């Protein structure tokens, strides 16, 4: 029997109105992937605004690259991006409003992920 691969879930509830809180899930997700740990960022509530097309390009903090650049690096590293469908409806956003890397999923997915993850962090 083989051991199940470790998995960390990062839940992004902060929106683009709080830019200093947005980088951490992506940086930590890339770090997890470098450690051979699966990583998923789940966008919930105002967090869904982070993966709206054209939004991440406008966020830049200090000497860090734009949020879009960090998100691209995280995606290329294999970090998965999941978006809460109910949150998109609450904010009147359509499926086509999001970056292609973002997969729209139901609320039950978050419950399943939390139960299955080896660790969960909220931002």
pLDDT digits (tens, 9 = 90+) for 4-30: 899 999 999 999 999 999 999 999 999
Find out whether 103 and 80 touch, Cβ atoms under 8 Å: yes
- Counting residues of the chain whose pLDDT is more than 70, the rounded percentage is 98
**What pTM value is reported for the model?**
0.95
Fold of 7-122: Hypothetical Protein Ychn; Chain: A, (3.40.1260)
Do 77 and 69 contact (CB within 8 A), yes or no? Answer: no
Task: Give CA–CA dist 123/29, Å, rounded.
Answer: 13
pLDDT (tens digit, 9 = 90+) per residue, 43-79? 999 999 999 999 999 999 999 999 999 999 999 999 9
Diameter of the chain measured on Cα atoms: 47
């Amino acid at each position: 029997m083989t051991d199940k691969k470790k998995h960390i879930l990062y839940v992004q509830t902060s929106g683009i109105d709080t830019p200093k809180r947005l980088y951490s899930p992506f940086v930590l997700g890339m770090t997890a992937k470098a450690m051979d740990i699966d990583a998923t960022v789940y966008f919930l509530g105002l967090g869904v605004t982070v993966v709206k097309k054209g939004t991440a390009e406008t966020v830049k903090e200090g000497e860090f690259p734009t949020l879009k650049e960090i998100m691209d690096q995280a995606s290329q590293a294999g970090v998965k991006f999941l978006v809460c469908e109910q949150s998109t409806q609450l904010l009147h956003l359509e499926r086509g409003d999001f970056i292609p890397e973002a997969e729209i999923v139901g609320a039950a997915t978050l419950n399943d992920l939390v139960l299955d993850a080896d660790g969960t962090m909220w931002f």
